[in-house]
Amino acid sequence: MIRFATFAYAATAVLAATAAFAQAKNPMVGGAPMYANKTIVENAVNSKDHETLVAAVKQAGLVDTLNSEGPFTVFAPTDRAFSKISDDSLNQLMMDEHKAQLAKILACHVVATSAMSDAIAGMIAADGGMHPVPTVGGCTLQAKMDGDDILLIDENGREAKVTIADVRQSNGVIHVIDRVLLPAQ
């Protein structure tokens, strides 16, 4: 009986250590731990840097999609990124009558696969320095490297830098970016 209790304690300790190790590999975002066993939405709601994005995802009706199995790669603009859009424009987008436009903008931040930064960098290198990234919103972003940083260029030529890469989720990965990407106008 003592051996079983010792084994059970040891197994519990190993599982706890494994969970802690897995969590330690995921970066904190917006002051909150990001759990690889939670969905994109379940993690994003805890980030103090993504309150505008979470509100926009809710308004656009995309919560169920981003809670689904995926896999997804989400380029997640911070609140600071959203602050580069005028308050009037952002308020207009958040209105019910502009829900479809908001959903399209947000979908231009989502790719229907799970792509870690090393894979993105490899695709950029394989394509000679620029790699097209088709999104679920019908936009095509261009990815390129700037030193060790991944930059995304939207259809209007606006650049966003990945500031936190490889935030693992149960249904994909998040890369935090410093600008909102927009579809061609």
Reading the chain (185 residues) residue by residue, the pLDDT tens digits are 544 444 344 444 444 444 444 444 889 899 899 999 999 999 999 999 999 999 999 999 999 999 999 999 999 999 999 999 999 999 999 999 999 999 999 999 999 999 999 999 999 999 999 999 999 999 999 999 999 999 999 999 999 999 999 999 999 999 999 999 999 97
Q: Are strands 172-177 and 72-77 parallel, antiparallel or unpaired?
A: parallel
CATH (domain of 136): 2.30.180.10
C-alpha 160: how far from chain center: 13
Q: Which of 134, 133, 155 is closest to 143 using CA atoms?
A: 133
Q: Does 1 map to a domain?
A: no
Q: Does 38 map to a domain?
A: yes
Domain count, the chain: 1
Q: Does 15 map to a domain?
A: no
CA distance 74 to 2: 49
Q: Does 129 map to a domain?
A: yes
Q: Does 107 map to a domain?
A: yes
Beta bridge partners of 162: 177
Q: Does 2 map to a domain?
A: no
Between the CA atoms of 47, 50, 51 and 52, what dihedral angle is there, to the nearest 10 degrees?
A: -170
Q: Does 100 map to a domain?
A: yes
Q: Does 67 map to a domain?
A: yes
Domain that holds residue 89: 28-177
